[in-house]
Structure 1
Amino acid sequence: MKNKSKILVLLCFGYILIQCKADKNKAVASDSDNTNYIISDTLKWSERMALTLMEQHPKAYQIDDKEEPKWDYVHGLVLTSFEKLYEKTKDKKYYDYIKGYADATIDSSGVIASYKYENFNIDMIEAGNILFNLYDTTQNDKYLKAMQLLRKQLSEHPRTTEGGFWHKKRYPSQMWLDGLFMAEPFYAHYTTKFENGANLDDVAKQFELIQKQAYDSKTGLLYHGWDESKKMDWANKETGTSPNFWSRSLGWYAMALVDALDYFPENHPKRKELIAYLNQLAKALAKQQHPSGLWYQVTNLGDKEGNYLEASGSAMFAYAFAKGANKGYLPIEYKTKANKAFDGLIEKLVKVSEKGNVIITQACAVAGLGGNPYRDGSYEYYINEKKKDNDPKATGPFILAAIELNR
């Protein structure tokens, strides 16, 4: 009996040691996933925002409150801003954060597990923007293969009769302003890097078509979406356009122009055309800028009941104006307008916690057209979509604008 008791005691003791070790390992893992960054108010706003996001989302795939790795445009947008921050600061933690996302979503053979090719969803192209630098710095073929897959999607993506990319396979015959940002900077970069710029005309065509179909001559703005078939309930039966101007969709479009232009050489015949579109849009947006420097959710309807000064569109315009002016695409006065917009964000919509975390408020969480439940594009629809603090559609452009403005 004594021997049995001794064996029992030893087994129990061994089990306790194993559990203690396991708990210790868990604690170490937990600690490494929850780094407490010092977010000093002496840092630039770009770093203060980036460190806030890294503290809230220790793994980059957790951005937008995701629990599992997912290939998505919001991650691509935010991590593109981190890439610009890494270029500026040379702080490797920003590079590692980007690479961590890519490695969580792309396997060793270049397969993106959560990406469904057959959906032909234009949104899925956007995150490919982070892969160019990763491939250049690592020479790991998995990043190249993932880019090649996204490029293949564009080759086979369904199009309107004139050659405009559908927004998604389940939204047939529709072009949305959002889609220009989701596809064109990647497409322009890819064709410049790997195809000697052979398809830059096709990139430019996407802008030409959306200008032709969604531009409103009275305001100089562009409608959120256009349905070639005119079958959607939200579509104007004569023009096919959706009924309202939504600031974030215009922000997507403005950013698409300044980012795609990076890859159009000065002698390219379509470059001046794209710069003209940007100037036309910037002039129209400047007329709608609120005295605070911000823009309303429904761009042209001011303080109509329910309308509100919205963060993501305002941050996108600040970025597009600043980069446009810095690159010489826009007159220098737009740098002043961008700074005014950034001031408005800081003064009206940004809160800073006691720990130094930066919180952007009044950001529309999501908005679209059609689908289930049905989104009719009405004024009431846009103003009643939910808002979310530090929505990635606001934080990414905020970082980009802060970098362009050196704020």
Structure 2
Amino acid sequence: MKKWIWVLLVVCNIAIGVDTQKGILRNAQNPTPGTGPGAKLDKGIVKIGNAVAENVLSIPVAARYPTVCSYYGVLKFAQASGNQKLIDAVIANYNTAEITSQEIFYSYDKATGADKRKLPKTDRIRAGHVDWNVFGILPFELYLQKKDEQYLKVAVELADDEWAKLREDGMTAYTRLWVDDMFMVGSLQVQAYKATGKEIYLDRCLTQLLGYAKVLQQQNGLFQHTAEVPVFWGRGNGWAAAVMALTLENTPKEHPKRQELMDVYLKMMAGLKKYQAKSGLWHQIVIDAESYEETSSTGMFTYAIATGVKNGWLDKSYQKTAENGWKGLVKKVKDGQVSDVCVGTGQGKMYNHYLNRPTKTGDLHGQAPFLWAATAMLKMR
């Protein structure tokens, strides 16, 4: 009898050991934030983030917003993960780029305001359009991390150019009321505020974001692409979500417009939460489950939500939303390249314009948000 009891105990211990081992493996793959196994996933975030960052660094610095946003993403990720080699690589690429040794090209006559029409044939740092001026976020970030004033001149010049002429409502004359512009303008002005400490830049940002929200945000919390196009395009909403998170994180609590922007942000986050697919991704047209699952928007939403969780703006239920978004993104990365990225997309009058946009693997429109999301996930844990 004792022999059989002993055998039974051995079998039970083996079974328990197997189950325990399976549990450890599951935790390593899907750890609970803030726990021991979570540290292993953090290493996973760093590893995959490094791969995407290195892919970005293989592309020269250029005065194009997808490149700029990607290099900015490398710097933010490198700072969060403590990777000085990535920062040094960005500096080397920036300092040796031909465009950074030239003066800013203004697309208009600064004396008369007349459009020059003829743009340079070669790549140049340009002023005169929100997609061009956003270049300034990169030298601003280099200054913020290295405190080298050589990076300030061009960045401040681009930030100030946006408010050289104003509309009657206080927004920049470059205003188009395309949701994309919320990031292009807002991020530059926030970076200027962070680098100089001058509140005028933060005030500009908040004026711009709230002005856009009044026109573009709808009852479901989401933003239509432009004032003329009532389509809830994924990446367009991503730009809005990302810049609001960035701005709120850098706006003092006592600022008179902070709560107004917070209300816009919270309304949007509640709307986004409803439309996340089972995969963790969001759709090309956020409210249309028949449209394809898209990664650049998912990266931006994950960044915005994880930032909200970290700062206590969002309740803990959103932590799972961010985690699921991240897990969905990771499955779309191979050899440092994010797949299923909607290509560059301008305003379209027809719904099918958005529904049928092609996707591309490794497109910088997707590399940048992935790095932002990785950074936010590291900070949230």
TM over 0.5: yes
Aligned to 1:124: 132
Within 2, Cα distance between the matches of 1:384 and 1:327? 37
Q: Does 1:44 align with 2:44?
A: yes
Give the paired residue count.
Answer: 322
Q: Does 1:390 align with 2:374?
A: no
Q: Provide closer, same or farther for how the CA distance between residues 139 and 43 of structure 1 changes in structure 2, counting only shifts above 3 A.
A: closer
Q: 1:361 aligns with which of 339, 342, 348?
A: 339
Query: What do residues 218-240 of structure 1 show as CA deviations (whole Å, max 9, x unaligned)?
Result: x22111112xxxxxxxx2xxxxx
Query: What do residues 377-407 of structure 1 show as CA deviations (whole Å, max 9, x unaligned)?
Result: x221012222110222222221221232238
Aligned to 1:86: 78
Within 1, Cα distance between the matches of 2:216 and 2:223? 5
Aligned to 2:157: 149
What is the deviation of 1:290? 1.5
What is the deviation of 1:148? 2.1
Q: Provide closer, same or farther for how the CA distance between residues 131 and 280 of structure 1 changes in structure 2, counting only shifts above 3 A.
A: same
Q: Does 1:318 align with 2:325?
A: no
Within 2, Cα distance between the matches of 1:110 and 1:137? 23
Aligned to 1:209: 211
Q: Provide closer, same or farther for how the CA distance between residues 271 and 125 of structure 1 changes in structure 2, counting only shifts above 3 A.
A: same
The 5 A counterparts of 1:223-302 are 223-226=224-227, 235=228, 242-302=229-289
TM-score by length of 2: 0.76
* Runs (4+) off by over 6 Å: none
Q: Which amino acid is 1:164 matched to?
A: M
What is the deviation of 1:57? 5.5
- Partner of 2:337: helix, strand, or coil? strand
Q: Which amino acid is 2:267 matched to?
A: Q
Q: Provide closer, same or farther for how the CA distance between residues 395 and 199 of structure 1 changes in structure 2, counting only shifts above 3 A.
A: closer
Q: Does 1:77 align with 2:69?
A: yes
Within 2, Cα distance between the matches of 1:92 and 1:221? 38
Query: What do residues 154-195 of structure 1 show as CA deviations (whole Å, max 9, x unaligned)?
Result: 1225x54423335x5xxxx62111111112122123135425
Within 2, Cα distance between the matches of 1:296 and 1:185? 24
Within 1, Cα distance between the matches of 2:199 and 2:323? 34
Q: Provide closer, same or farther for how the CA distance between residues 76 and 327 of structure 1 changes in structure 2, counting only shifts above 3 A.
A: farther
Q: Which amino acid is 1:146 matched to?
A: V
Within 1, Cα distance between the matches of 2:268 and 2:64? 27
Within 1, Cα distance between the matches of 2:89 and 2:82? 13
What is the deviation of 1:46? 4.3
Q: Identity percentage over the alignment?
A: 24
Instruction: Please give the root-mean-square deviation of Cα atoms over the aligned residues, in Å.
Output: 2.6
Unpaired runs of 5+ in structure 2? 1-40, 106-122
Unpaired runs of 5+ in structure 1? 1-40, 62-68, 227-234, 236-241, 370-374
